[in-house]
Amino acid sequence: MTDFTMDKGDDGVAVITWDVPGKSMNVLSMEGAQQLGGLIDAALSDDAVRGIVITSGKKDFAAGMDLNVIAGMKDAGGARAVFDGVMSLHNLLRKIERAGMDPKTLKGGKPIAAALPGTALGIGLELPLATHRIFAADNAKAKIGLPEIMVGIFPGAGGTTRLVRKMGAMAAAPILLEGKLNDPKKARAAGLIDEVVDDPVGSARDWVLQASDADLVKPWDQKGYKMPGGTPYHPAGFMTFLGANAMVLGRTMGVYPAAKALLSAVYEGSLVPFDTALRIEARWFTHVLMNPSSANMIRSLFINKEALEKGANRPDVPDQTVRKVGILGAGMMGAGIAYVSATAGIEVVLIDAAQDAADRGKAHSESLLDKGIQRKKVTEARKAEVLSRILATTDYAALDGCDLIVEAVFEDIDVKADVTRKAEAVIPADAIFATNTSTLPISELARASQRPDQFIGIHFFSPVDKMALVEIIKGGETGDRAVAKALDFVRQIRKTPIVVNDERFFYANRCIIPYINEGVRMVGEGVNPTLVENAAKMMGMPLGPLQLIDETSIDLGVKIAKATRAAMGNDYPDGNVDDVLFWMADQGRMGRKSKAGFYAYDDAGKRTGLWSGLDDRFPRADDQPELTEVQHRLMMVQALEAVRALEAGVLEDIREGDVGAILGWGFAPWTGGPFGWLDMLGAPRAVEIAEALSDRHGDRFAPPALLREMAERGESFYGRFGPDQKKAA
Q: Does 247 interact with ligand NAD (rule: CB under 6 A)?
A: no
Q: ∠ CA(96), CA(101), CA(103), 5° rounding?
A: 110
- Cα(436)–Cα(438) distance, rounded to whole angstroms? 6
Of the two residues 295 and 445, which places its CB atom closer to ligand NAD in the complex? 445
Rank residues 125 and 470 by Cβ distance to ligand NAD and give the closer one.
Answer: 470
Asked whether position 187 contacts ligand NAD by CB under 6 A, the answer is no
**Which sign does the torsion angle of CA 517, 520, 525, 528 carry?**
positive
We find the least distance from the C-beta atom of residue 464 to ligand NAD, in angstroms, to be 8
Binding part of the chain for ligand NAD, among 38-46, 261-269, 409-417, 666-674 by CB under 6 A, reads: 409-417
Question: What minimum distance in Å lies between the beta carbon of 505 and ligand NAD?
Answer: 11
CB of 186 to ligand NAD, least distance (A): 34
419 binds ligand NAD, rule: CB under 6 A = yes
409 is a contact residue toward ligand NAD (CB under 6 A): yes
* Given 330, 431, 499, 646, the residue binding ligand NAD (CB under 6 A): 330
Stretch of residues binding ligand NAD (CB under 6 A), selected from 74-82, 398-406, 454-462, 597-605: 454-462
Smallest distance, ligand NAD to C-beta of residue 661, A = 17
Looking at 377-447, list the stretches that DSSP marks H as alpha helix, in order from N- to C-terminal side.
380-388, 413-424, 442-445
| Contact stretch for ligand NAD (CB under 6 A) within 21-29, 328-336, 538-546, 660-668 | 328-336
Nearer to ligand NAD among residue 170 and residue 445 (C-beta): 445
Q: Which is nearer to ligand NAD, 266 or 512 (CB)?
A: 512
User: Between 170 and 409, whose beta carbon lies closer to ligand NAD?
Assistant: 409
Range 270-279 burial, b when 16+ CB lie within 10 A, else e: beeebeebbb
Confirm or reject binding of residue 517 to ligand NAD (CB under 6 A): no
Contact in structure between 661 and 638 (CB atoms under 8 Å): yes
The residues that bridge with 351 in the sheet, in sequence order, are 328, 393
Q: In the bound complex, which residue of the shown chain has the CB atom lying closest to ligand NAD?
A: 331
Residue of 18, 40, 161 whose CA lies nearest to 95: 40
Taking the complex as a whole, how short is the minimal distance between the CB of residue 459 and ligand NAD, in angstroms?
A: 6
Confirm or reject binding of residue 426 to ligand NAD (CB under 6 A). no
- The residue from 30, 171, 303, 415 that contacts ligand NAD (CB under 6 A) is 415
CB of 395 to ligand NAD, least distance (A): 11
Q: How far is the CB of 497 from ligand NAD (least distance, A)?
A: 15
Query: How many C-beta atoms lie closer than 10 Å to residue 481's C-beta?
Result: 17
Contact call for residue 462 and ligand NAD (CB under 6 A): yes
Least separation in angstroms between residue 668's CB and ligand NAD is 22
Is-contact 227 164, C-beta < 8 A?
yes
Strands (E), 544-662: 599-601, 607-610
- Give 544: exposed, middle or buried? Use CB within 10 Å, 0-12, 13-18, 19+: buried
Nearer to ligand NAD (CB atom), residue 86 or residue 419: 419
Three-state secondary structure string covering 153-220: CCCCCCHHHHHHHHHCHHHHHHHHHCCCCECHHHHHHCCCCCEEECCHHHHHHHHHHHCCHHHHCCHH
Q: What is the DSSP string of 64-88?
A: EE-HHHHHHHHHHHHHHHHHHHHHH
Using DSSP's 3-state secondary structure scheme, residue 524 falls into helix
- Catalytic, out of 31, 97, 148, 477: 148
Surface-to-core class of residue 605, CB atoms within 10 Å of its CB (0-12 exposed, 13-18 middle, 19+ buried): exposed
Side chain identity, residue 456 = I
Closest CA to 164 of 283, 65, 262: 262
Instruction: Say if CB 621 and CB 527 are below 8 A apart.
Output: yes
Q: Which stretch binds ligand NAD (CB under 6 A): 436-444, 470-478, 598-606, 692-700?
A: 436-444
The reply on whether position 333 binds ligand NAD by CB under 6 A is yes
From 56, 296, 393, 437, residue interacting with ligand NAD (rule: CB under 6 A): 437
Q: Does 434 bind ligand NAD (CB under 6 A)?
A: no
Out of 267, 274, 433, 460, the residue judged to bind ligand NAD by CB under 6 A: 460
Q: Smaller CB distance to ligand NAD: residue 190 or 467? A: 467
**Interaction between residue 511 and ligand NAD (CB under 6 A):** no
Using CB under 6 A as the binding rule, whether residue 355 contacts ligand NAD is answered as: no
Q: Which stretch binds ligand NAD (CB under 6 A): 287-295, 347-355, 376-384, 494-502?
A: 347-355
- Compare residues 294 and 436 and give the one whose CB is closer to ligand NAD: 436
- Of 97, 126, 471, 629, the catalytic one is 126
Nearest to 123 by CA among 187, 67, 84: 67
Question: Do the Cβ atoms of 158 and 271 come closer than 8 Å?
Answer: no
Among positions 292, 315, 331, 684, the unique one binding ligand NAD when judged by CB under 6 A: 331
Pick one of 55, 161, 436, 492: the residue that binds ligand NAD (CB under 6 A): 436
Query: Who's near 688: CB < 8 A, 6+ residues apart?
Result: none
Binding residues for ligand NAD, total number by CB under 6 A: 24
- In three-state secondary structure terms, 395 is coil
- Known catalytic residue at 148: yes
**Binding residue (CB under 6 A) for ligand NAD from 60, 126, 281, 352:** 352
d(CA 62, CA 477) in angstroms, rounded, equals 44
Is 156 a residue that touches ligand NAD (CB under 6 A)?
no
* Residue partners of 22: CB distance under 8 A and separation at least 6: none
Q: CB-wise, 365 or 436, nearer to ligand NAD?
A: 436
205 touches 13 (CB < 8 A): yes
What's the CA gap between 525 and 721, in Å, rounded?
A: 38
Q: Does 353 engage in binding with ligand NAD (CB under 6 A)?
A: yes
Give Cα 628 to chain centroid, integer Å.
Answer: 27
- Taking the least distance from each CB to ligand NAD, the nearer of 87 and 409 is 409
* 408 contributes a contact to ligand NAD by CB under 6 A: yes
By CB under 6 A, residue 228 contacts ligand NAD: no
Q: Which residue number, 20 or 419, has a Cβ lying nearer to ligand NAD? A: 419
Binding segment (CB under 6 A) for ligand NAD, from list 89-97, 323-331, 660-668, 677-685: 323-331
**Site for ligand NAD contains 438 (CB under 6 A):** yes
Instruction: Please give the Cα distance from 192 to 195 (Å, whole number).
Output: 10
Q: Does 411 contact ligand NAD by CB under 6 A?
A: yes
Between 67-98 and 30-45, two packed helices, what is the crossing angle to 10 degrees?
A: 10
Amino acid of residue 134? I
Kind plus residue range of the DSSP H or E element containing 724: helix 723-728
- What amino acid occupies position 712? E
Identify which of residues 65 and 419 has a Cβ nearer to ligand NAD in the complex: 419
Peptide bond into 463 cis (omega under 30): yes
Determine contact, residues 531/624, Cβ cutoff 8 Å: yes
Q: How far is the CB of 569 from ligand NAD (least distance, A)?
A: 23
Beta pairing partners, 500: 473, 651
Active site residue 126: yes
Positions marked active-site: 126, 148
Residue ranges that bind ligand NAD, judged by CB under 6 A: 328-334, 351-353, 357, 408-411, 415, 418-419, 436-438, 459-460, 462
